[in-house]
Amino acid sequence: MRSPRVRMRRSRMPVRKLSGFSVNRMVPNVLTLLALCAGMTAIRFAVSGNFQAAVAGIMVAGVLDGLDGRIARLLKSTSRFGAELDSLSDFVDFGVAPALVLYLWTMHALHGGGWAIVLFFAVCCALRLARFNTQLGVELPPYGGGYFTGVPAPAGAGLAIMPMFAAFEWGDWIARSPYLVGAWTVGVALLMVSTLPTVSLKRFRIPPHRVVPTLLGIGVLVAFLTTVPWLILVLVGLVYLGSIPLTMRSYRRLRQAAAAAPRRPGSGEQPTVLAPPVPPHTYPLGEGIAPTSDTRH
């Protein structure tokens, strides 16, 4: 007589469904995707030989990258998904796209050497973004909140294509040399992976009495940017490079002031308790010699 078969039901793991997102919460991710499309389109323009449009695509990607994070914080729609998407988009926009644009513009004249240089730039950009992602949950000292560690990826991409700005303004003879562009690209790549403090505008505050002059200055800058864009971009890049020594000096002063400031009670450090001195001639007979220790020299 055969025993009846018993069917074992496999327990199914519960599948977590994605919750619905409002349109406001999707706006930052949409801007990130638009920045990614702008960077990829810049590569297409470079392949077709339209290098001014390629540079414009990278600049548009930089503007969109600066907006998506701020809008996400304003709308309180920050998420792990958005952070990962933004990091991948930044690598394409500011690592891959500038490298390919520079290679197609002039670095191809060095053949394998030119490709190695632009590849080095892309690798340094990836390392810069990876280091930034690992520092997101790290608590910075009070004086380090207004600074980046090294040149950020968008600024590095802008500095890398600065020779193209100069060539568009004054002609190819001044900045299209592959040797000059190669040395410049390597220098910018090293700045991105360096530990030099650079200025960050995230915690920058404008005093109330300077709001109107600041808006006026931004309006004048935009007006010149629409008339002589390449000259203004070169000047902005030079001002940014000139600010790095000043930022290093300011960071060093703040660090020295924080180190010299007296520590307040309750800062988390335990006070040092000194043992009371042992009065002489209190040892028992035969133990008047202090015991030896391995740490004494």
Interval 10-45: pLDDT, tens: 556 555 555 555 677 788 888 999 999 999 999 999
Total domains in the fold of the chain: 1
**In whole numbers, what is the pLDDT of the chain averaged over residues?**
80
Domain contains 290: no
pTM of the full structure: 0.77
The pair of structure tokens assigned to 55 is 């540079």
In a domain, 14, yes or no: no
- Identify whether 41 is part of a domain: yes
Torsion, CA 264, CA 265, CA 268, CA 273, rounded to 10: 120
Check the CA dihedral 235-238-240-246 and report its sign. negative
How far is 63 from 57, CA to CA, in rounded Å?
10
- Residue 216 belongs to some domain of the structure: no
Look at residue 55 and tell me if it is in a domain: yes
Range of the domain at 109: 24-135+145-202+225-259
Mean pLDDT of 117-139: 87
Tell me: the pLDDT tens digits for 132-159?
A: 888 766 666 666 667 788 899 999 999 9
Distance from C-alpha of 48 to C-alpha of 70, rounded to nearest angstrom: 34
Measure the CA–CA gap between 259 and 228, rounded to whole angstroms.
46
Residue 273's pLDDT is 45
The answer to whether residue 275 sits within a structural domain is: no
Do 62 and 93 form a contact (C-beta atoms < 8 A)? Answer: yes
- Would you give the end-to-end CA distance of the chain in angstroms? 88
Helix (H) or strand (E) holding 199: strand 197-199
Evaluate if residue 265 carries a pLDDT over 90: no
Domain annotation covers residue 217: no
Write the CATH number for 29.
1.20.120.1760
Q: CA 112, CA 94: separation in Å to the nearest integer?
A: 22
Rounded Cα–Cα distance for residues 184 and 192 (Å): 13
Instruction: Tell me which residue of 69, 63, 52 sits closest to 94, measured CA to CA.
Output: 63
Task: Tell me the C-alpha distance between 108 and 263, whole Å.
Answer: 57
The answer to the question of residue 67 being in a domain is yes
Q: pLDDT tens digit string along 194-227? A: 988 888 777 677 778 888 888 898 888 888 888 8
Q: What is the pLDDT of residue 14?
A: 57
List, in order, residues 6 or more apart from 101 with CB less than 8 Å away.
Answer: 42, 43, 46, 51, 54, 55, 58, 161, 164
Does pLDDT of 190 surpass 60? Answer: yes
Q: How far is CA 199 from CA 47, 151, 247, 270, 297, in A?
A: 34, 9, 6, 35, 48
